[in-house]
Amino acid sequence: MAAVEASAPVEDVLNATRQRAGDIHLRKRLSTLTVDELAALREAFRLSQETADSRGYGHFASLHGFPEPGYCEHGNQLFLPWHRGYLYFFEQSLQDLVPGVSLPWWDWTETSELPPAFSDAADHGGQANPLLDAPVVAADGLRGADWPERTSRPTERGDTWLPSIGLPTQADVDLVMAAANFDDFTLALADLHNAVHVWIGGEMGDQRFAGWDPLFWVHHTMVDRVWAMWQLAHPGDNPRLEHLGKGLNYFKDMTVGQTLNFTDLGYDYAADEVLVVGA
């Protein structure tokens, strides 16, 4: 879906007007972010990484795998709802820091490499790119006493990639989208998701530390978008009834059932946005 707005003020590019109006915000394709939108995203990540308490990056990053055995759900029907809630609460924390910012989706089908926005060493202003890596510290800015030595430096990717497998293609996504029921769909999408984690390697290839790599968030936003598209094509095909009343583990305020309608969570997925400014 491409949104076209007439006479939109320039500052509207960051969903700020939508937020003021109480409207849902748009998550855009990473490769179509404007310079301003990318700068806002970087600023939000930078400020989040500088926040050493439960509002900051270390807190959210650590919840995926810590305290052991971690809170994340994988390989079952709660995989998608749990990560949708996880993205929601993290995105809310980013919006506390930079109003109107939203998580973009990294469309792995359009590339065979890491996105430059998350792999360039510096941002447009020449400052260190906070989307490249992040210090592996918990909410208090400290590290677990038993965390491996290799994680004492910022997150890494690089030469840990598997040489023979690539990122998922559109054909892979089409195969997932062809799943006939939620159970099939979630397992197929989970495997595609796993493949990306394995392909990137480094901290992303380790369930405990993956949340610290900034790529984690845009990877999972893509996963969430694929689920959203599948939902639109399969209304009512959801996790089993017995799961719907369950809280999302750490995020107990949100139940599985409350994750199902993504517009109720205040967002939708857009491909791009064309601003049309008055003469």
Partner 1 sequence: MATWDSQPFSTQPLRAGYRRADVELQGVDQAVPSYEGRLFLNRAEADRETALAAEEGYLGSFHVFGKVFCWGEDERHCEQPDEREFDRRRYPNRYAKARVRTIDGLLRELVSKSGDQATLHIVAVLPEREDYAQYKAEDVLRFERLSIVTYA
Q: Residue 158 interacts with partner 1 (CB under 8 A)?
A: no
Calpha distance 218→167 (Å, rounded): 14
Identified binder of partner 1 from the candidate list 19, 31, 32, 207, rule CB under 8 A: 207
b/e per residue 140-162 (b: at least 16 CB within 10 A): eeeeeeeeeeebeebbbbeeebe
Q: Residue 277 interacts with partner 1 (CB under 8 A)?
A: no
Calpha distance 38→63 (Å, rounded): 25
Residue with tokens 């967002």: 267
What are the distances in angstroms from CA 210 to CA 34, 108, 175, 181, 197? 27, 17, 26, 29, 8
Q: Residue 160 interacts with partner 1 (CB under 8 A)?
A: yes
Which of 29, 208 has the CB closer to partner 1?
Answer: 208
Select from 70-78, 126-134, 231-239, 260-268 the region that touches partner 1 (CB under 8 A): 70-78
Calpha distance 208→67 (Å, rounded): 9
What type of residue is 193?
H
Residue 58 DSSP symbol: H
Identified binder of partner 1 from the candidate list 25, 208, 219, 225, rule CB under 8 A: 208
Q: Residue 193 interacts with partner 1 (CB under 8 A)?
A: yes
Residues 170-189 that bind partner 1 (CB under 8 A): 175, 184, 187-188
* Upper half-sphere CA count for residue 57 (Cβ side, 13 Å): 27
Q: Residue 146 interacts with partner 1 (CB under 8 A)?
A: yes
Q: Residue 251 interacts with partner 1 (CB under 8 A)?
A: no
Report the nearest approach of partner 1 to the CB of residue 224 (Å).
Answer: 16
Cβ distance 79 to 73 under 8 Å?
Answer: yes
Report the nearest approach of partner 1 to the CB of residue 175 (Å).
Answer: 8
Q: Give the other-Cβ count within 10 Å of 176's Cβ.
A: 23
Q: Residue 205 interacts with partner 1 (CB under 8 A)?
A: yes
Report the nearest approach of partner 1 to the CB of residue 162 (Å).
Answer: 6
Interface with partner 1 (CB under 8 A): 65, 68-76, 78, 146, 150, 160-165, 175, 184, 187-188, 190-191, 193-195, 197-198, 201, 205-208, 210, 246-247, 249
